[in-house]
A and B are shown apart, each in its own frame.
Chain A
Amino acid sequence: MSIASAEKSIGAITFDDVRVGQLIVAVAAAIALLRFQLPDFLVRPPDWLVWPFADWINFVFVFLKDDLGFIHVTRSIASVVEWFLDVTGNLLYGRNRWPRIGPLPWTTVAVTAAVIGYALNGWRLSLLCGGTFVWIALMGQWKWAMETLSVIVVAAPVSAILGVVLGIAAWRRKTVEKILNPLLNIAQSLPHFAYMIPVVVFIGVGPKAGAIVTMIFAMPPMIRMTLLGMKKVPPEIVESGKMCGSSSWQLLRHVRVPTARTEILLGVNQVIMQCLAMVVLASFIGMPGLGQKLLQLLQALKIGRSLEIGITIVLIAVMLDRCSKAWVVKQPKHFERGTPWHVRYRILVAWAALAVATFALSLLWPLADEIPRRHALTVSKEADLLVDWFVRLVDPLTQWLRGFLIRFVFIPMRDAYLWLPFISVLAFWAGLGWMVGKWRSALVCLGYFGLIAMSGWWDRAMITAYMITFSVFIAVALGLPLGIWASRSERRARFVLLVCDTAQTFPSFIYLIPVVMLFGVNDVAAIGAVITFALVPFTRYTIEGLKDTPPELVEASSMSGASAWQQLWKVRFPMALPTIAVGFNQTIMFSLFMVIIAAFIGTQDLGQEMQKALSSTDVGKGLVLGLCVAFMGLMADHLIIRWSDSRKKALGLE
């Protein structure tokens, strides 16, 4: 009762609006039931409704590229990027370019990483960093890992700097923010492949294209975090800066940016992780390195070797994540005036000494310079045997599961989705929209899904939708009990959250290894990968939501004699629901990304078409398909966030 009145008082959704929404949904269901009586143009988007967006986009691109000569601009930008890549490539893996001094001995690189780790957070991080590089060298993956790192070393700083600049511009000028905001929304929900096709057209293939697509992909979170940080700077600090007589540049450089340090560095962390995820995927457009090797090995079904590469990628991800997070927490150190330089730069001096020592060592002992593949360790044979044994052991189960899922779940579900008349699907979303945000949200939902209908990819989109629905359903069914179980005790919660955090740093590609191992290359594997990937954010938000229930409420409920079960269902769960909804939103986003990546193990949805578009460098088709995926994500995002916000207000959580 009190909740209902609270909703009324803030002018949010009223009971009547929910009724209207339900009515629309009921109409949608009724239309679906009448499918066979419906005229054709209500079942499938008729020709006049399907607009040739792809041709228009292609027209614009050709105009930009050839008529305006934009290609020369992009190519000269690319050659600048290439110059940086040549330098890092030469230093890290001895690419035959200026300055022609590389490759650095692996021991030097490992020592450098260890010192950086130490400087950021002491011995444990130092061990992780150094250890990662020792593992890479010992497993004979040095060159591939360096190819990958040489791109990250260039792409991450460039993206971070551009992100900060754009973020500050957006903070300065409201118009910039207004233009950037919708662009960022779309950019962050476009699947990875959609970025690659224009880059292939404008830049070409190879490492420079990989680097550029990585930069573009990694930039949006940096812009967002910078804007957030700048907005959060307390006016008192700015005041005191002004009182010292700072110019507006000084105010920015010495007051605002340092105050927003935490947010900006969190943005840097995100940039680095996004870079790693993209660099691995950019192997589709000729990016050499670990990603390319992993792609080849997975395609050749060499599981043992792919596992080795997978471990390396995971180690690098964890290392980069821990380092950048340690940097966020670490506060700058200030020395007394007159401290001698070797004390100030203690670590730098130590590093220089170690670097020289390892350099000398590598001259004396070639194995400290490079470990050739024939000396490298490999556990791939043993891993293959083990994997083979395990796969054969569970084979009856996986075969049964595969047959069962395909026959009784996937195919009926797919057929049902394809059977639905498009008009009733549109009505259904409009109804849901009305329930959460009256006619405005109804129109938003109608707009997003209507555009998908107009794109001409309705059937493919429905196949994607069914895969997402199923994966999200299973992810929730698994994640909810797991989250509830973990939130029961502080220790469990910490453990599961740590696992989730670590799993979230893995590039999406990694999730394909175990499913390909178990199920081979087919639909079940693809959906398996999507479920695993989507399970992580859902579990995480469930735990966080349940953990953060206000203690007063829990106490009050125990005082009124609620059992543990009642407490969970009547108090904790309703309070946690808005947070869980955010997790649900992320689950959908993650599933959408993964379902597209999984295309290369053989799905028949939008992802497959997108791969074809990549093959024929069809920018228009690729972007239209990408936008279809993005619109699905944006619609889900709109519905869930609206709902969760109004719920939070009603519960007095904000």
Chain B
Amino acid sequence: MSLREPAAYADLARDCKLNGKAAFAAKAKKGVIVMKKFRNALVAAAIAAVPSWASAADSSDPIIVPLHNWSSQIVMSHIVGTIFESVGNNVEYVTTDSQAVYESVRLGDVTLELEVWEGAFGVAFNEALAKGGLHDAGDHAVSTREEWWYPSWTAEVCPGLPDWQALDECSHLFATPETGDKGRFLGGPVDWLKHDQERVDGLGMDFVVVNAGSAAALWAELAAAEKANRPIVLFNWTPNFVEAVWDGAFVEFPPYFEGCKTDASLGPNPDMTYDCGNPTGGYLKKAAWDGMEEKWPNAYAILRKISFTNYNVAEMAKFVDIDGMEPEDAAARWLEENEDVWKSWIEAMS
């Protein structure tokens, strides 16, 4: 985790704790001044600053940027969209399913994808890659992990954690009316295709997977569990703002290995697939349509340069999930606060 900036992270953590808990507890969203005007000024300034050749080569057709159902992705897409606009491109946003998007990128209906999480979308990405039409446009400077996660108050009542067998022993602590005497694992939205139920079956755990409708529903449940001091185990990932607001840890499953998802004979359970955890230290990639380089060479050069850090991604999520900003406004704020970072990406293209 050398990629994190510890000092800044601590700041974010403090910020989240101060604002975040209060915000979640009282549900009072901190009012944030809309910065649309500022953004427009910013775009205008940037257009003036960038040499005119920049816009000469790119097609005037809009670059189609997809939006999904978690906040960091939406904010990041708006940030990148605004950067493209600042060098004179047209940008349009479409909301798409986060799995189906790779098929769309492949066909050129959508131009790029900014957050390819290895654990959730690696399979869909690789399938599309094999069919051709899209390619890997480089990694973010981020190390990701997507896994079952528990907050500190859960650890107190279930001492053996983070071991998964210990978690299974205390499955009764997580029982809810819906799940009967089995424990409840709160998974992400169905379209993230996390195969949690398959893992529960593969490892023979006493859990039932209940899917939340969205990322926000996950955090709402987590906040409610904290208020009631109720043990909870749910899906989480890093980088995310959650680790700054709540102490907690990932559950340690049998380590991931090649073929775990496809070959039943491998792994601890010889008869089932998915008898392993998600990869640790996974990638966060950008993907681009093959035709992008030719059609929008400048935007493509910028895309290759773009690299967000763990801290950036967590901060973007925090702006929306805790401060209650609109994604567009959060993007404007990030651009304002990190001008040197994104300006360097634009400069690099010459």
Binding site for B on A (CB under 8 A): 95-96, 200-201, 204-207, 283-288, 292, 295-296, 298-301, 372-374, 381, 384, 388, 402-403, 406-407, 411, 520-523, 599-602, 608, 611-612, 614-617
Contact = CB atoms under 8 A, between A and B. Distances in A.
- The interface centre, meaning the residue of A285, A522, A602 with most chain B CB atoms within 10 A of its CB, is A602
Contact of B99 (A299, A402, A616): A616
A555 to B, nearest CB: 54
Given A206-B94, A299-B216, 11 more contacts: A205-B101, A206-B64, A285-B96, A287-B95, A373-B34, A374-B36, A388-B27, A520-B217, A523-B178, A611-B191, A615-B100
Contact of B110 (A205, A284, A301, A615): A205
A541 B29 CA distance: 45
A521 B212 CA distance: 7
Contact of A96 (B66, B90, B189): B90
B93 interface: yes
Contact of B107 (A96, A204, A602): A204
Contacts of A288: 93-95
B100 A617 contact: yes
A402 B104 CA distance: 40
A492 B29 CA distance: 43
B209 to A, nearest CB: 10
A602 B211 contact: yes
A286 B96 contact: yes
Contacts of B213: 298-299, 521, 600-602
List the 4 closest A-B pairs by CB distance, nearest first: A299-B214, A204-B109, A300-B216, A406-B177
Contacts of A384: 27, 29
A411 B176 CA distance: 12
Interface string B262-300: 000000000000000000000000000000000000000
Contacts of A522: 178, 210
B220 interface: yes
Contacts, number: 115
A296 B67 CA distance: 11
Contacts of B62: 96
Contact of A283 (B37, B95, B189): B95
Contacts of B180: 411
Contacts of A411: 177-178, 180
- The interface centre, meaning the residue of A384, A388, A402, A600 with most chain B CB atoms within 10 A of its CB, is A600
A285 B220 contact: no
B103 interface: yes
Interface string B61-85: 0101010010000000000000000
Contacts of B66: 205, 286
B217 A521 contact: yes
A206 B177 CA distance: 39
A206 B100 contact: no
Contacts of B178: 406, 411, 522-523
Given A374-B34, A614-B97, A407 B177 contact: yes
A206 B109 contact: yes
A373 B96 contact: no
B210 A602 contact: yes
B193 interface: yes
A612 B191 contact: yes
A59 to B, nearest CB: 17
B217 A284 contact: no
Interface string B21-37: 00000010100011011
B95 A292 contact: yes
B69 A614 contact: no
A99 B38 CA distance: 29
Contact of A402 (B27, B177, B193): B177
A612 B64 contact: no
- The interface centre, meaning the residue of A207, A298, A402, A617 with most chain B CB atoms within 10 A of its CB, is A617
B190 interface: yes
Nearest to A89: B92
A403 B69 CA distance: 29
19 contacts: A95-B92, A200-B104, A204-B107, A205-B100, A205-B109, A207-B94, A284-B97, A296-B95, A299-B189, A300-B214, A301-B216, A402-B177, A407-B177, A599-B190, A600-B190, A602-B212, A615-B97, A615-B98, A615-B100
